[in-house]
Amino acid sequence: MAVARFYHLTRDPLETLLPILIGKAREIGLTVALRGTDAGRMAALDQRLWLGEGFLPHGLAGGPHDADQPCLLTTAATAAGDLPNHPGCLVTLDGAEVGAEEARAVDRLCVVFDGTDPAAVERARDQWRALTGAGIAAEYWSRDTGRWECRAKHPK
C-alpha cells in the first residue's frame, strides 16, 4: 500500500518535477502511470518529456505498445491495476481522480497540484481528506525553502 505523497508546486513548473518523480520510481523498478484530466495537456507533456534533459522513456496511452511502456501518460479513470502497463507508481495531475482502493493497489502514489491555483489547492485538500479518511497514510511535500521537504504526515 502506498503512502499518498502530495506535492505542492509553487516554485517550479510541473515539467521540472515529473522527471524526478518518474525517475525515482523507475530507479526502484516500478512502472508508472501519469494520469491527468485533459488529453491536450497530456499530449503537451508527452512532447515535453521527450525533449527534456535525460532520457525518460514513456508513451501516450492509446498506442499499440501501451503494455510495454515504463511510463504511460493517460487520462483514463481506469484503476491503475487495470492499465495496460500495470503500474506500481501512480502520479496524478490537475485533480485527476484517485481512490483509496487504488492507493492500496500501488507501491507509490504521488498527487501533484498547482499551489498557485486556489481551486487546485482545495481539490488536493479534498483528496487528502478522502484518502486519509479511508486509512491511507499521507505526506505533504513542498519546496518553500528551495528543496523538497516533507512538511506534514498523517498519521503523525
* Percent of the chain predicted with pLDDT > 70: 97
Q: Give Cβ neighbours of residue 15 (< 8 Å, ≥ 6 apart).
A: 45, 48, 49, 52
pLDDT exceeds cutoff 80 at 28 = yes
Question: Considering the domain 4-154, what is its CATH architecture?
Answer: 3-Layer(aba) Sandwich (3.40)
Q: What does the alpha-carbon distance between residue 55 and residue 113 come to, in Å, rounded to a whole number?
A: 24
Return the C-alpha torsion angle 105, 147, 140, 78, nearest 10: -30
Q: What is the mean pLDDT of residues 53-73?
A: 88
